[in-house]
């Protein structure tokens, strides 16, 4: 499922961000000591290796393909196509395991830590693919931008275009990621809904969610017309005895109640994001396929192009010795 084929696909986007990195870069260094840049170069190389190790050794994610979407400073964001609630659940579990293991194995001698989050986007609607010319002079056409983008997606010329995404799920997703911390791995409603649905409908023991909790209801700028957004997170330190003691007073809602909360938001008429999971257990995830907003537009454009008459192969010149008027 890809931009080349135009098929509908949902992708989960997962973030790993280094915490305390700004301060670490500015700490005094001894002359001749290890440069601070080495720690970050190790992150760019060794965290992907951590993901590769987990996908190679954990059968639950052996069929999932994690691909780098983009690095943003000290943050790496990967994407992975998902086709079921189990794919979502297992991708998140593998990712949080990788984050924790990387922190323990690679950052223990530094004042830095890790944090992250996850959100889901669905293509080609409600979220979209984009193609941006790498050099200004590459764009020399006045044709319809929708048709040009579709053509660029099909051709996939990585030397000429930078391929990216945009849409409401990214606007929401980045705001959800901004709420994460070393302790709380934040989840968009779609990710949380898929995980809770698997727990409630498929196996409470097999798919535990005791570490998921409602952090807060937050008004995210520009999201859902300003309605309070439920930010759900994985408490990666939930087994700490002190945190467990506090949980009796802090936890809001059971797994079933949080499942119903996510469902109420997701099924609201004006909810901006959608999932399509063709191998899902829950019917709404596989039966309610989001429409392609450009399907008729592109088809009409292609049909119109076919109807344009061919131009003469060469300009028609005057006949030899034309009669004078």
Domain boundaries defined on the chain: 9-22+36-127+167-298, 128-164
Q: How far apart are CA 213 and CA 200, in angstroms?
A: 15
Question: What is residue 304's predicted lDDT score, i.e. its pLDDT?
Answer: 54
What pLDDT score was predicted for residue 99?
Answer: 97
pLDDT of residue 141: 77
pLDDT of residue 318: 45
Q: Integer distance in angstroms from the first to the last C-alpha of the chain?
A: 67
- pLDDT for the residue numbered 281: 92
Task: Name which of 51, 25, 10 is nearest 277 in CA terms.
Answer: 10
Distance separating alpha carbons of residues 50 and 224, to the nearest angstrom: 36
pLDDT of residue 289: 93
Among candidate residues 188, 258, 152, 137, the one with its CA nearest the CA of residue 12: 188
Question: Cα–Cα distance between 35 and 121 in angstroms, integer?
Answer: 38
Q: What is the pLDDT, as a whole number, of residue 297?
A: 81
pLDDT at position 299 is 66
Q: Among candidates 121, 111, 247, which has minimal Cα distance to 173? A: 121
Distance in angstroms (rounded) separating the CA atoms of residues 294 and 148: 12
Ranges in the chain, pLDDT < 70: 1-5, 299-325
Quote the pLDDT of residue 31: 84
Q: What is the pLDDT of residue 4?
A: 44
CATH for the 9-22+36-127+167-298 domain, from 3.80.30.10, 3.30.70.1230, 3.60.20.10, 3.40.50.300: 3.30.70.1230
* Rounded Cα gap, residues 79 and 16, in angstroms: 12
Cis peptide before 126 (omega within 30 of 0): yes
- Distance between CA atoms of residues 156 and 5, nearest Å: 11
């Amino acid at each position: 499922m890809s931009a080349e084929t135009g098929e509908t696909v949902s992708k989960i986007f997962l973030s790993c961000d280094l915490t305390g990195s700004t301060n670490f870069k500015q700490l005094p260094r001894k002359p001749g000591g290890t440069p601070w840049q080495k720690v970050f170069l190790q992150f760019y190389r060794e965290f992907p290796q951590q993901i590769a190790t987990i996908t190679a050794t954990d059968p639950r994610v052996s069929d999932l393909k994690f691909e780098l979407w983009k690095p943003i400073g000290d943050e790496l964001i990967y994407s992975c196509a998902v086709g079921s609630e189990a794919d979502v659940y297992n991708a998140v579990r593998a990712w949080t395991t990788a984050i924790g293991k990387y922190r323990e194995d690679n950052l223990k001698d530094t004042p830095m830590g890790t944090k992250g989050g996850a959100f889901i986007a669905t293509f080609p609607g409600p979220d979209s693919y984009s193609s941006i010319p790498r050099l200004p002079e590459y764009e020399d056409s006045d044709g319809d931008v929708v048709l040009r983008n579709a053509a660029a997606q099909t051709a996939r010329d990585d030397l000429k275009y930078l391929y990216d995404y945009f849409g409401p799920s990214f606007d929401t997703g980045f705001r959800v990621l901004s709420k994460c911390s070393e302790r709380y791995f934040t989840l968009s409603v779609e990710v949380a809904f898929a995980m809770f649905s698997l727990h409630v409908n498929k196996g409470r023991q097999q798919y535990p969610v005791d570490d998921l909790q409602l952090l807060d209801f937050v008004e995210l700028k520009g999201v859902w017309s300003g309605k309070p957004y439920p930010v759900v997170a994985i408490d990666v330190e939930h087994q700490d005895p002190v945190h467990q003691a506090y949980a009796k007073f802090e936890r809001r809602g059971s797994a079933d109640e949080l499942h119903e909360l996510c469902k109420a938001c997701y099924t609201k008429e004006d909810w901006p994001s959608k999932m399509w999971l063709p191998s899902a257990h829950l019917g709404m995830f596989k039966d309610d396929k989001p429409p392609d907003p450009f399907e008729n537009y592109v088809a009409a454009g292609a049909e119109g192009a076919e109807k344009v008459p061919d131009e003469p192969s060469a300009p028609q010149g005057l006949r030899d010795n034309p009669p004078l008027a």
